[in-house]
Amino acid sequence: MALKIDNYSLYLVISEEYSLGKTALEVARQAISGGVDIIQLREKNKPKDELLKLARELSKICNEERVIFIVNDDPLIAKETQADGVHLGQGDLQKFSLAKARALLGRDKIIGVSTHSLDEFKSANQDEVDYIAYGPIFPTKTKDYFLGAKDIKEIMAIARKPVFFIGGVDLNNLDELLSAGAKNIALIRGIMQSEDIKAASRIFKNRLIQQRKPVTVIVRINGKAEVVAEKINILELVKHKNLLAENIVIEHNLRIVPKNEWWQVNLNENDTLEIVNFMGGG
């Protein structure tokens, strides 16, 4: 099944250059435990053998935790390390066209692109990409310019795919993004340079979740009806209810959902969900 990026996703770009001494693997594990949905490996200066080794390790961790893993710049490395996709900057597109990247990776992999102006965004919005990054929104050490939040409302009004706003995003300016309609954010230093990466990730993720439009879904657990009043996926619900995955079977809209698909199935208004728990009263 092809991977899908949902709105209200938290995207962490990992580069050990900004990790304050932590390894990429340490950062990834802590961020994932805090709720990060997507991790990108962005290492510009590592030798290829080190980069491949690190990418393989991160790919394994992300796969185990059901987190999307993206490699920056190079679809060949993404393919070799079994990443979920690749992120291409404007310069990368001169070397790897979208058609070439798609041919290398296949239809079931994710391709994201960077855009740095409204015109670049509009062009990418018509391309066969899976998500678009737009920025830098705020001042950041990685760029010598920033775009501001003035175009966010227009971008969100015309966006045909998920948009991640990136560049200098932190808790002091997050409300400006969200009030303009942003649904997804990407960060580097805002998480990586936090004293507590897990806690920082959880704060950012919770702020995104709060933007979700509420829905009402009736969930029956061993026949007892409960109401879920937020838009979550099945895996998030299982974790929220502290259910043991190995002890339950889930039927969503009259279909038994395999465990490896739980994270991909969002609960929507008027859905039916039956959970049979074989321990403690099943």
Q: 255 an active-site residue? A: no
Three-class SS of residue 170?
Answer: coil
What is the sign, positive or negative, of the torsion defined by CA atoms of 70, 75, 77, 79? positive
81: which residues sit within 8 A by CB, 6+ positions away?
52, 55, 56, 59, 71
In DSSP terms, 186 is beta-bridged to 11, 166
Residue in 9, 114, 194, 201 annotated catalytic: 114
Amino acid at 210: Q
Q: How far apart are CA 55 and CA 266, in angstroms?
A: 29
Residue 69, token pair as written in the block: 């893993």
Question: Chain centroid to CA 223: how far?
Answer: 34
Residue in 42, 109, 189, 231 annotated catalytic: 42
CA angle 92, 95, 100 (to 5 degrees): 100
Q: 114 an active-site residue? A: yes
Q: How far apart are CA 180 and CA 271, in angstroms?
A: 30
Residue in 143, 161, 241, 259 annotated catalytic: 143
Q: 44 an active-site residue? A: no
- What are residue 154's phi and psi, to 5 degrees? -65, -40
CA angle 208, 220, 244 (to 5 degrees): 70
Q: Where are the alpha helices (DSSP H) in the chain?
A: 24-34, 48-65, 75-80, 92-95, 98-105, 118-125, 152-158, 174-179, 189-192, 197-209, 234-240
Q: Which residues are catalytic?
A: 42, 114, 143
